[in-house]
Chains A and B, each alone.
Chain A
Amino acid sequence: MKHLWREISFLLRQRASALAIALLTGLAALSVGLGLQEVARQKAAISEVIALQKTDTAAIKSFASDAGDAAYYRFHPTWDPPAALAFAALGQRDIAPSILRIRALALEGQMHENEAQNPELALPGRFDFAFVLIYLAPLVLIVLFYDLWSGEREAGRLASLQALPKARVRVWLPRIAARFGLVSAVLIVVFWVGALISGAGLGETLAFTALILTLLGFWTLVAILIAKGAGSSPTNAALLATIWFVITLIAPAGSNLVINAATPIPDGAAIMRENREVVHDAWDLDRDATLQRFYKLYPQYATSPPMQRPFEWKWYYAFQHLGDQHVEPLSLAYRAGIAERDARAGLFALALPPIAIQRGLHRIARTDMAAQSAYQDRIRAYHTRLRTYYYPYLFMAKPFTPADFDAAPAFDRPLGENIH
């Protein structure tokens, strides 16, 4: 142990090392602070919309006396609150909206709404803890490790150090442990403070911590492997920096090209348009035929009396749903294609540990593609509950009272902390 403390104090007395570690600490703390603020902002935005929606709904209630009007005018908020660890890995949350207001009309055209963000700011990516860990921490490790052996050799001390009895235990292991330990400790402590503030669960915090240690362990191994070689200090530094940028910058970008070429997906814009075509064509098709097609899906409403007038809400909602039905295979293929791309990225990640770690962080923080599509699935399920809630009023002439207006199903995701 005393060897370790000696090496730590040596390390901190070197100006470059101390500076690198101090910088990393500062940037990690900054990223955690910014991440916590961002998560708080997202939560506040969700609450704000829910409050604003209440006013809007009250105004609609004052004139929407039948179920058709209510279902047409009333938007229902859905939300995807950030999970406790989202502060550390913000992932896709800047691109995809965390609130989506939907109506009981055809859903396909409503699902793709984008958040009103500035694309120039989304382009470089987020400055979050995951960024500090995946991009910057390895560079700090490289600075600490690259001349561990070559530096001693160039100073003419290597032979005498190696000749020391138990050199491995007394010199090299403490040196490695000091470097790896210091960087890990700094990042983990900063992360834990953030996790504590955001009220993250112990299990997810430990899982996240394990990923931090794995990533730093990987880069420590790579750095030792290169640093122990016969190269000079500058050669080692250049080699390590090259490995870093190939793994962190070039390989992911290249893999993405390969994945996209290998996994074509249907044109999302065409699916939206096809949905509109089918919905609007219904206005000029035989009304009864449309209703019969709907009754095949919902036989419980087949006893509804035939249409008396050119426009009836039940027919309107029937063709809205038939529009979604029509594009469902395409829509499923679209979603499956995106999921497939992400799964293939997982395969590439097997060969690129930092990518695998990044994906793991986003998974634990629930800010990855899977979390996005889980939210979309919840919206779809909620939309089904919503429209089927209105069907008895529309098809069976069940009287629609103000109490029924209020009893429309609400999105049932908890707003608050710790979604597991």
Chain B
Amino acid sequence: MKRAHLIAWAELALMVRSRVALIGVIALLLLSTIAAATSYTHMAQERLGRVANQTETDALFEAQPARHPHRMVHYGSYVYRPIGTLAGFDPGIDPFSGTTLYLEGHRQNSATISAVRENSSLMRFGQLTPAFVLQTLAPLLLIFLGFSMITRERTRGSLRLLLSSGVTAGDLILGKTLALGSVGLVALAPAWLTLILMAIVMPSEAGAAAMIGLGYGLYVLIWVVGIIAVSALARSGQAALLILIGIWCFMAVLAPRGAAELASRLEPLESRAATDLTIRAELRQLGDSHNPDDPFFAAFKARTLAHYGVSKVEDLPFNFRGAVSAEGEALTSRLFDKHFAELATTQRTQSNIVAYLSIFSPALAVRRVSMAGAGTDLETHLRFLQQSEAHRFAMVQYLNGLHRDRLSLADDAARSKDPQAEQRTRIGANNWAKAPDFVFKPTSAADRLSAAITPILLLALWLVAMVILAGWSGRVLAGRAL
């Protein structure tokens, strides 16, 4: 152990003397600091913007004048996907998915306004976030600093000298790992610091922040140990470098795109327009509110009349038109839910395919830990869509309830032709403030932790494999040197 320390110190001293290594480390530190600062500020602005939009939208809703409640159904409302504190660390899917959802009666809209459609095409090259720096760039710096750590000893002939002076191959591997590990620690420092600061600002996120920190720690360690192992096994520094750049290119550049492409081909999604039209076709099968003889609505009418023991809708104790609206909305809503469930299942399957493929690339595994922990993964977006739809339904049915209970059928039927009746179908503005509010329930810390357990275990497995590889490389090294 003492020898390993000496080797590590010697290696670090060499790195400090070599300007190139120092510049590399400083460049990475600078880059991750810029990334952390800009990403944090940007997401904080985004968060404030959405909160402001939500407040403004809710205030506008409550400020609407006395109106026919069905007008409010069409006026509708907007919800804006909230952003968690840790999203500044890894914005994940946030820029790639719609953030604004228009909620109105009879229709389910798509989430609109996404950064990716408001940015230049440069955005698709990658975003400068702490997550990107750690996932993609940090390993490359470690490769450059570590690839020749052991090959160099061999080509210079110092390896045999070391081994004959009582240093074991294990000492050498451990020492070099400690040296490269310290560089890894430096590379991690700004990210860990950012996470700690975020956890202080928002203590409830501390668990998730710790998990993200652990994930990246494991990830960097996998690279550190792997790089040393390859350096010990490779015949020359050149070979080690080429192999490592090849592995990096596969894991950090090729695998994410390849896995996404594969998932989208294995589980194709229907276009939104096709789904909309399918829903409309199914709706016509179930019940057509435009057809006075429609069996669905005729049955609803018969059932309602029988329930109240009357023979015509005019005798019902409420406005039958409002009841029909509510029944129609319930019908369409069931279809929306059914198709949304199908969409969510397909998208989850797609993401699971990528998750399975992360066996081949720790970069994919750490991305899952990072996005799940930061609450910027697919699950958060699906939750937003699902809760928004539930809110839409609750809001519309609240208004349909007013339509049914507060309006007279005669006025309601005459309002398009008779101005007095039209005035009487307007109900007080005080009713709008009583409509249900949208409160987004984000994925709980416990759920996010459990979503990250599998990828964390996968990373741990990778680390174990790398340690075994490094141990074996030590024996090979000793064998070759003799």
Q: What residues make up the interface of A, taking CB atoms closer than 8 Å to B?
A: 16, 27, 34, 37, 41, 45, 48-49, 52-53, 55-56, 59, 63, 77, 91-92, 95-101, 109, 112-127, 131, 135-136, 139, 143, 147, 233-234, 237-238, 241-242, 245, 248-250, 252-257, 259-260, 265, 267-270, 272-273, 276-277, 280, 283-284, 309-311, 337-338, 341-342, 344-345, 348, 355, 358-359, 362, 368-369, 372
Q: How many residues of B contact A (CB 8 A)?
A: 99
Contact of A16 with B53 in the complex, beta carbons under 8 Å: no
Main secondary structure of the interface of A (DSSP, over half): helix
In the complex, which of the residues B102, B261, B290 contacts A272, with contact meaning CB atoms closer than 8 Å? B102
In the complex, which of the residues B127, B245, B378 contacts A253, with contact meaning CB atoms closer than 8 Å? B127
Interface assignment of B313: CB less than 8 Å from any CB of chain A: no
Q: Chain A contacts of B12 at CB under 8 A?
A: none
Distance A359 CA – B124 CA, assembled complex (angstroms): 11
Interface residues of B in 414-443 (CB under 8 A from A): 415-419, 422
What 12 new A-B contacts, CB under 8 Å, besides A91-B121, A252-B126?
Answer: A49-B277, A96-B117, A113-B112, A118-B269, A120-B371, A124-B257, A127-B261, A252-B125, A256-B123, A256-B125, A272-B112, A273-B53
Interface assignment of B204: CB less than 8 Å from any CB of chain A: no
Interface assignment of B136: CB less than 8 Å from any CB of chain A: yes
Interface assignment of B116: CB less than 8 Å from any CB of chain A: yes
Among the 9-residue stretches B211-219, B234-242, B464-472, the one with 4 or more Cβ atoms under 8 Å from chain A is B234-242
Shortest distance from the beta carbon of B384 to any chain A beta carbon, whole Å: 11
Distance A260 CA – B95 CA, assembled complex (angstroms): 13
Distance A5 CA – B113 CA, assembled complex (angstroms): 55
- Interface hub of A59, A116, A241, A267 (most chain B Cβ within 10 A): A116
Contact of B126 with A253 in the complex, beta carbons under 8 Å: yes
Shortest distance from the beta carbon of B291 to any chain A beta carbon, whole Å: 7
Shortest distance from the beta carbon of B421 to any chain A beta carbon, whole Å: 8
The 8 A CB mask of B174-210 against A (1 = contact, 0 = none) is: 0000000000000000000000000000000000000
Distance A96 CA – B117 CA, assembled complex (angstroms): 7
Q: Which residue of A lies closest to B290 (CB)?
A: A63
Interface assignment of B140: CB less than 8 Å from any CB of chain A: yes
In the complex, which of the residues B56, B274, B377 contacts A52, with contact meaning CB atoms closer than 8 Å? B274
Interface assignment of B122: CB less than 8 Å from any CB of chain A: yes
Q: Which 10 A-B pairs have the closest CB atoms?
A: A345-B120, A252-B125, A124-B256, A119-B93, A112-B112, A119-B97, A52-B277, A127-B261, A253-B128, A119-B96
Contact of B136 with A256 in the complex, beta carbons under 8 Å: no
Contact of B140 with A97 in the complex, beta carbons under 8 Å: no
Interface assignment of B78: CB less than 8 Å from any CB of chain A: yes
Task: Evaluate whether A120 and B118 lie within 8 angstroms (CB atoms) in the complex, with A49-B277, A139-B249 already known.
Answer: no
In the complex, which of the residues B114, B120, B128, B253 contacts A341, with contact meaning CB atoms closer than 8 Å? B120
Contact of A269 with B271 in the complex, beta carbons under 8 Å: no
Shortest distance from the beta carbon of A375 to any chain B beta carbon, whole Å: 12
Shortest distance from the beta carbon of B47 to any chain A beta carbon, whole Å: 14
Contact of B121 with A368 in the complex, beta carbons under 8 Å: yes
Contact of A123 with B96 in the complex, beta carbons under 8 Å: yes
Interface assignment of B80: CB less than 8 Å from any CB of chain A: yes
Contact of B113 with A112 in the complex, beta carbons under 8 Å: yes
Interface assignment of B260: CB less than 8 Å from any CB of chain A: yes
Task: Evaluate whether A136 and B122 lie within 8 angstroms (CB atoms) in the complex, with A53-B277, A272-B112 already known.
Answer: no
Shortest distance from the beta carbon of A186 to any chain B beta carbon, whole Å: 17
Q: Chain B contacts of A241 at CB under 8 A?
A: 140, 144, 245
Q: Chain A contacts of B242 at CB under 8 A?
A: 16, 143, 237
In the complex, which of the residues B65, B75, B93, B102 contacts A120, with contact meaning CB atoms closer than 8 Å? B93
Contact of B277 with A256 in the complex, beta carbons under 8 Å: no
Main secondary structure of the interface of B (DSSP, over half): helix
Contact of B128 with A114 in the complex, beta carbons under 8 Å: no
Q: Chain A contacts of B132 at CB under 8 A?
A: 253
Distance A241 CA – B116 CA, assembled complex (angstroms): 28
Q: Chain B contacts of A344 at CB under 8 A?
A: 120
Distance A95 CA – B261 CA, assembled complex (angstroms): 14
Q: Chain B contacts of A355 at CB under 8 A?
A: 122, 125
Contact of B269 with A52 in the complex, beta carbons under 8 Å: no
Distance A41 CA – B126 CA, assembled complex (angstroms): 26
Shortest distance from the beta carbon of B257 to any chain A beta carbon, whole Å: 4
Contact of B245 with A48 in the complex, beta carbons under 8 Å: no
Distance A244 CA – B65 CA, assembled complex (angstroms): 61
Interface assignment of B386: CB less than 8 Å from any CB of chain A: no
Shortest distance from the beta carbon of B115 to any chain A beta carbon, whole Å: 9
Contact of A114 with B110 in the complex, beta carbons under 8 Å: yes
Contact of A92 with B53 in the complex, beta carbons under 8 Å: no
Interface assignment of B150: CB less than 8 Å from any CB of chain A: no
Distance A92 CA – B96 CA, assembled complex (angstroms): 11
Interface assignment of B354: CB less than 8 Å from any CB of chain A: yes
In the complex, which of the residues A37, A55, A116 contacts B271, with contact meaning CB atoms closer than 8 Å? A116
Q: Chain B contacts of A116 at CB under 8 A?
A: 110, 269-272, 275, 343
Interface residues of B in 11-34 (CB under 8 A from A): 31
Distance A120 CA – B260 CA, assembled complex (angstroms): 8
Shortest distance from the beta carbon of A265 to any chain B beta carbon, whole Å: 6
Interface assignment of B119: CB less than 8 Å from any CB of chain A: yes
Task: Evaluate whether A311 and B147 lie within 8 angstroms (CB atoms) in the complex, with A16-B242, A113-B112, A250-B128 already known.
Answer: no
- Interface hub of A95, A120, A283 (most chain B Cβ within 10 A): A120
Contact of B121 with A237 in the complex, beta carbons under 8 Å: no
Q: Chain A contacts of B113 at CB under 8 A?
A: 112, 268-269, 272
Interface assignment of B350: CB less than 8 Å from any CB of chain A: yes
Q: Chain B contacts of A27 at CB under 8 A?
A: 254
Q: Chain B contacts of A242 at CB under 8 A?
A: 144
Interface residues of B in 378-395 (CB under 8 A from A): 378, 381
Among the 9-residue stretches B278-286, B303-311, B317-325, the one with 4 or more Cβ atoms under 8 Å from chain A is B278-286
Q: List 15 A-B contacts (CB under 8 A).
A: A56-B277, A114-B97, A114-B114, A114-B272, A115-B271, A116-B272, A117-B264, A234-B238, A237-B245, A241-B140, A257-B128, A265-B118, A358-B121, A358-B125, A359-B121
Contact of A249 with B354 in the complex, beta carbons under 8 Å: no
Distance A5 CA – B153 CA, assembled complex (angstroms): 39
Interface assignment of B473: CB less than 8 Å from any CB of chain A: no
In the complex, which of the residues A118, A135, A284, A348 contacts B67, with contact meaning CB atoms closer than 8 Å? A284
Distance A361 CA – B78 CA, assembled complex (angstroms): 38
Q: Which residue of B lies closest to A349 (CB)?
A: B122
- Interface hub of A95, A237, A310, A358 (most chain B Cβ within 10 A): A310
Contact of A276 with B350 in the complex, beta carbons under 8 Å: no
Contact of A256 with B71 in the complex, beta carbons under 8 Å: no
Q: Chain A contacts of B111 at CB under 8 A?
A: 114
Shortest distance from the beta carbon of A109 to any chain B beta carbon, whole Å: 7
